[in-house]
């Protein structure tokens, strides 16, 4: 449908949030400075063979020492918002509120003040994957006690920064760090606990989220008047064929990726039916008497349901989904879904195998979320593109026309969702401000609007062409 891709002119509402997003471990560096404790990412990346080229985040973009340079980049873009994350062990070195590292608090206060001085509002993620190693040593998210520790940490952050931070995100992409951290082992802590752990961990993450939201609601909301949300990543998905099997598999795919967290927090108040049925069926096949997916008791359900002031939605790509029965063993989150994902060959490529730009999928996803979950307020908290591997053409290539195209086309679909579909969209944060430590890809994968030279000790930042593109859209509040 060629009409689908036609660009639209128009603007977003006054006060629309325009931002860029980052995460502590990916940019800060200073991994053991000024009293910071180790995180699971320090441990994981220091272990040979876990990361491309054995890269690590010891220095990264050195953003810990470059507050004012980074704020300058945001000013050049004309941003109204900046999404960053707090490193839990930088302020609570052993994970608990027994010891507070004042230098860590001071660092984030200085950053927040510098942002506000530049008229940029902070949006702060509490957990973007860098758990204190001390808490991993007692089981991390598999230990039910984590709910208490996360709540202590959230409470310290609300207390210390809540006078100036009005937009909070508890978790970034739980589906992602749980699957890759506890089952495939691709992300820290690198565990390969197949089949059951992911569901137990998700249960604890949901309880942690709900508890922290209630702490804000009970102790801080009246005086601080902020909002607390969660970031969920969701691909759009379309069936491989019109068969009922493929259509059902597509629905399952979205439920396992998004409904797993969305339904308990702002949907039915329980795990999705498709997920419950599927994991029960698979568990029975494996000779288990109960499902590997835990049940919520009523108390847990009511603790979690309704604990969301806004949805942070991360969108990158779309998949084509086909039903495919998986073998009974080994049990895994993937095998539980009985499906196979592909993409269409005519979807363009990027520097990441998993990322095929499909802008219209963005609008479809937004419309689906609106209808399925009763029109929640949505901030796009991540959307971005990795530079194709241009080594052969001489790196760095700062003329990132593909990123410009990605940004323009995705924001245009967002505009259609806002104007034509009445989706309640409050803002858009691009991933990412600068090139940074891209998890297991190290520095080989580049998502930044600004290039960073990681071979230079001063980590100079240079604008790519997409800076101009994004600055114009921000200035026009859309497309004039």
Active site residues: 173, 382
Cα–Cα distance measured from residue 335 to residue 325, given in angstroms and rounded to the nearest whole number: 8
191 binds ligand PNW (CB under 6 A): no
Is residue 70 a contact point for ligand PNW (CB under 6 A)? no
- Tell me the helices (H) and strands (E) count for the chain, helix number first: 17, 15
For ligand PNW, the closer CB: 26 or 133? 26
Applying CB under 6 A, which of residues 220, 447, 450, 454 lies at the interface with ligand PNW?
447
Indicate whether 172 belongs to the interface with ligand PNW (CB under 6 A): yes
Nearer of residues 132 and 448 to ligand PNW, judged by Cβ? 448
**Minimum distance from residue 103 beta carbon to ligand PNW (Å):** 25
For residue 414, give the nearest of 369, 472, 353, 454 by alpha carbon: 369
Residue owning tokens 């308990």:
264
246 part of the interface to ligand PNW, by CB under 6 A: no
| Number of chain residues interacting with ligand PNW (CB under 6 A) | 14
Site for ligand PNW contains 431 (CB under 6 A): yes
Q: How far apart are CA 244 and CA 174, in angstroms?
A: 29
* Cα of 62 vs its chain's centroid, Å: 21
- Are 88 and 131 in contact by the 8 Å Cβ rule? The answer is yes
In the bound state with ligand PNW, the residue whose beta carbon lies nearer, of 353 and 455, is: 353
Smallest gap from residue 427 Cβ to ligand PNW (A): 17
Q: Which of 12, 19, 20, 23 binds ligand PNW (CB under 6 A)?
A: 23
**Is 434 near ligand PNW (CB under 6 A)?**
no
User: For residues 183 and 438, which CB has a smaller minimum distance to ligand PNW in the complex?
Assistant: 438
Tell me how far, at minimum, the Cβ of 383 lies from ligand PNW, in Å: 9
Which helix (H) or strand (E) segment holds residue 382: the answer is strand 378-382
42 counts as binding ligand PNW under rule CB under 6 A: no
Minimal distance, residue 125 CB to ligand PNW, in Å: 9
For ligand PNW, which residue of 438, 443, 461, 470 counts as binding (CB under 6 A)?
A: 438
- Please identify, using beta-carbon distances, which residue of 179 and 292 lies nearer to ligand PNW: 179
The answer for 225, left when phi > 0, alpha when psi is -120 to 50, beta otherwise, is left
How distant, in Å, are the alpha carbons of 43, 56, 90, 386 from that of 46?
5, 7, 18, 24
DSSP state of 379: E
Site string (382-421) toward ligand PNW, x via CB under 6 A: x---------------------------------------
Q: Is the dihedral of CA 325, 203, 122, 447 positive or negative?
A: negative
Residue 28, interface with ligand PNW (CB under 6 A)? Answer: no
Q: Which parts of 10-101 fold into alpha helices (H)?
A: 24-27, 40-46, 67-77, 88-91
Smallest gap from Cβ 233 to ligand PNW, in A, equals 5
Choosing from 130, 160, 176, 387, the residue that interacts with ligand PNW (CB under 6 A) is 176
Residue 317 binds to ligand PNW (criterion: CB under 6 A): yes
Window of 30-38, 170-178, 303-311, 371-379 that interacts with ligand PNW by CB under 6 A: 170-178
Nearer to ligand PNW, 146 or 358 (CB): 358
Q: What whole-number distance in Å separates Cα of residue 290 and Cα of residue 283? A: 7
364 binds ligand PNW (CB under 6 A): no
* Contact set for ligand PNW, span 117-156 (CB under 6 A): none
Span interacting with ligand PNW, options 313-321, 370-378, 393-401, 468-476, rule CB under 6 A? 313-321
Secondary-structure breakdown of the chain: helix, strand, coil percentages, each rounded to the nearest 5: 45, 15, 40
Distance CA 85, CA 21 (A): 9
Determine the interface stretch with ligand PNW among 172-180, 209-217, 273-281, 299-307 (rule: CB under 6 A): 172-180
Give the other-Cβ count within 10 Å of 382's Cβ: 24
CB-based contact 280:293 (threshold 8 Å): yes
Q: 79, 112, 169, 233: which one contacts ligand PNW (CB under 6 A)?
A: 233
Q: CA angle 428-423-233, nearest 5°?
A: 55
Give the separation between CA 208 and CA 228, rounded to whole angstroms.
13
Give the span between the Cα atoms of 22 and 253, in whole angstroms: 27
The smaller minimum CB distance to ligand PNW, of residues 317 and 337, is found at 317
Residue ranges in contact with ligand PNW by CB under 6 A: 23, 172-173, 176, 233, 235, 314, 316-317, 354, 382, 431, 438, 447
């Amino acid at each position: 449908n060629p009409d689908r891709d036609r660009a639209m002119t128009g603007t977003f509402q006054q006060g629309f949030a325009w931002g860029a997003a980052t995460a502590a471990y990916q940019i800060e560096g200073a991994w053991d400075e000024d009293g910071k404790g180790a995180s699971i990412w320090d441990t994981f990346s220091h272990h040979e063979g876990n990361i491309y080229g054995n890269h690590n985040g010891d220095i990264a973009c050195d953003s810990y020492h470059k507050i004012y340079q980074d704020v300058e980049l945001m000013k050049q873009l004309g941003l109204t918002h900046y999404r960053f994350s707090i490193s839990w062990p930088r302020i609570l070195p052993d994970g608990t509120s027994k010891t507070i590292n004042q230098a860590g608090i001071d660092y984030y206060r200085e950053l927040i003040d510098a942002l506000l001085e530049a008229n940029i509002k902070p949006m702060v993620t509490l957990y973007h994957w860098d758990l204190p190693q001390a808490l991993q040593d007692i089981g991390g998210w598999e230990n039910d006690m984590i709910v208490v520790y996360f709540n202590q940490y959230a409470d310290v952050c609300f207390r210390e920064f809540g006078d100036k931070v009005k937009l909070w995100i508890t978790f970034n992409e739980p589906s992602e760090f749980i699957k890759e951290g506890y089952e495939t082992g691709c992300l820290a802590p690198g565990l390969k606990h197949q089949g059951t752990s992911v569901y137990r961990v998700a249960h604890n993450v949901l309880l942690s989220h709900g508890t922290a939201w209630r702490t804000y609601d009970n102790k801080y909301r009246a005086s601080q008047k902020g909002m607390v949300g969660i970031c969920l990543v969701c691909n759009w998905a379309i069936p491989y064929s019109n068969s009922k099997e493929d259509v059902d598999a597509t629905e399952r795919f979205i439920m396992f990726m998004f409904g797993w967290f969305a339904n308990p927090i702002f949907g039915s108040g329980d795990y999705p039916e498709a997920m419950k049925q599927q994991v029960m069926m698979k568990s029975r096949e494996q000779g288990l008497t109960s499902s590997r997916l835990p049940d919520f008791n009523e108390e847990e359900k009511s603790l979690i349901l309704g604990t969301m002031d806004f949805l942070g939605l991360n969108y990158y790509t779309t998949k084509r989904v086909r039903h495919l029965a998986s073998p009974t063993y080994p049990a895994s989150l993937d095998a539980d879904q009985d499906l196979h994902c592909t993409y269409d060959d005519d979807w363009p490529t990027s520097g990441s195998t998993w990322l095929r730009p499909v802008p219209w999928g963005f609008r479809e996803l937004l419309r689906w979320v609106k209808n399925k979950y009763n029109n929640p307020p949505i901030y796009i908290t991540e959307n971005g593109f990795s530079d194709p591997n241009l080594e052969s053409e001489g790196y760095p290539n700062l003329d990132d026309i593909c990123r410009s195209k990605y940004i323009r086309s995705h924001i245009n679909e967002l505009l259609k969702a806002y104007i034509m579909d009445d989706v309640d969209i409050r803002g858009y944060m691009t991933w990412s401000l600068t090139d940074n430590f891209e998890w297991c890809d190290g520095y080989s994968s580049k998502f930044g609007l600004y290039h960073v030279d990681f071979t230079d000790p001063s980590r100079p930042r240079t604008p790519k062409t997409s800076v101009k593109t994004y600055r114009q859209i921000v200035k026009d509040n859309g497309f004039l």
